Amino acid sequence: MWSSTRTSVSCFWGQGQVRSRSSNADFPGIKERTLVAVKPDGVQRRLIGEIIKRFEQRGFRLVGLKMLQAPEKLLAQHYVSLQKKPFYPSLLHYMTSGPVVAMVWEGHNVVRSSRMLVGDTDPAGAAPGTIRGDLSVHISRNVVHASDSVQGAEKEISLWFQSAELIDWEGCDHNNIYHL
């Protein structure tokens, strides 16, 4: 029951049906999107479901998902701001050590909220209750990535996903009570 458009995949079975009482004008950030990736250590430790669960439970919508062995060229663009860091070679080695699960999540203030869900870059400083604070111990194996700004998220999403790979949930809002 999916229809493809030129720029995205859209769900049509909700169109014309009852819409949630809030419009996008009420919640300007409702369509904000962010890139989250389960890193190779997270995949190997069977944490994909746990990480997805936390974003789902918070009330964000999944608009894109894929598992891939990330090409070094993609990672070089993704981590361009870290190229001069001493740990950069080991970061690329880590990120290419196995498959990653890349996701795009959507919702109100999703970029900021995701960073809160994920926790501090260094798991030693990540609060209990956060993904890194609960599931990791070392900065070089911190299980998950989340974009750190709206602008950065837009750039990262376009690096990792074609627009046709992303779902347009417009018209399906009746399906969920959380999506503010």
Residues designated catalytic: 145
- The Cα 12–Cα 32 span in angstroms is 21
Q: How far is the CB of 106 from ligand GTP (least distance, A)?
A: 18
- By CB under 6 A, name the one of 140, 149, 158, 176 that touches ligand ADP: 140
The stretch near ligand GTP (CB under 6 A) out of 8-16, 83-91, 123-131, 157-165 is 83-91
Which is nearer to ligand GTP, 70 or 172 (by Cβ)? 70
Q: Which residue has the tokens 């999916």?
A: 2
At 167 the three-state DSSP class reads strand
Contact between 98 and 140 (Cβ < 8 Å): no
- The Cα 88–Cα 164 span in angstroms is 31
Query: Could you say which residues in the range 70-109 bind ligand ADP, by CB under 6 A?
Result: 82, 87, 91
- By CB under 6 A, name the one of 87, 116, 127, 174 that touches ligand GTP: 87
Helices (H), the chain: 40-44, 48-58, 72-78, 88-95, 110-118, 131-135, 150-160
- The Cα 62–Cα 169 span in angstroms is 9
Q: How far is the CB of 169 from ligand GTP (least distance, A)?
A: 25
The partner in contact with residue 134, picked from ligand ADP, ligand GTP, none with C-beta cut-offs of 5 to 8 angstroms by kind, is none
> Six-digit token pair at 81?
């701001």
The stretch near ligand GTP (CB under 6 A) out of 7-15, 54-62, 65-73, 135-143 is 135-143
Burial class (CB in 10 A: 0-12, 13-18, 19+), 113: buried
Which residues bind to ligand ADP, rule: CB under 6 A? 82, 87, 91, 121, 139-140, 142, 145, 148
Which residues bind to ligand GTP, rule: CB under 6 A? 82, 87, 90-91, 121, 139-140, 142, 145-146, 148
Instruction: Detail the residues annotated as belonging to a binding site for ATP.
Output: 39, 87, 115, 121, 132, 142
